[in-house]
């Protein structure tokens, strides 16, 4: 993804709770629902995250989520 929003959350919450907060903020700020999510390999993905397009990337620091809207042409914004 080339363009997106980086979200930091170092709480002990489940990833699904962190994603919910990040998605709510993203929707309010940009008026769109994010469809692509990138997290560090050390992040535990819980069962409530099923159905979300979560990708693992070593370039994302722990406790961070990079989220954005996936375009139809395969690129992300």
Residue 76 lies in a domain: no
Which distant-in-sequence residues (6+ apart) come within 8 Å of 65 by Cβ?
A: 6, 7, 9, 18, 19, 22, 37, 38, 39
Pairing label, strands 36-39, 5-8:
unpaired
Domain membership of residue 22 as a residue range: 5-68
Summarised one tens digit per residue, pLDDT across range 13-23 is 999 999 999 99
Backbone φ, ψ for residue 58 (5° rounding): -65, -20
Backbone φ, ψ for residue 13 (5° rounding): -65, 160
Summarised one tens digit per residue, pLDDT across range 12-65 is 999 999 999 999 999 999 999 999 999 999 999 999 998 899 999 999 999 999
- Counted domains in the chain: 1
Pairing label, strands 64-68, 36-39:
antiparallel
Residue 73 lies in a domain: no
Give the global pTM: 0.87
Residue 75 lies in a domain: no
Residue 29 lies in a domain: yes
Residue 77 lies in a domain: no
């Amino acid at each position: 993804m080339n363009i997106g929003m980086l979200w930091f959350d170092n709480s002990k919450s489940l990833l699904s709770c962190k994603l919910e907060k990040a998605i709510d903020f993203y929707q309010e700020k940009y008026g769109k629902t994010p469809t692509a999510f990138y997290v560090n390999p050390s992040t535990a993905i819980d069962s409530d995250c099923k159905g979300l397009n979560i990708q693992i990337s070593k370039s994302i620091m722990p406790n961070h989520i990079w989220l954005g809207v996936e375009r139809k042409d395969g690129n992300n914004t």
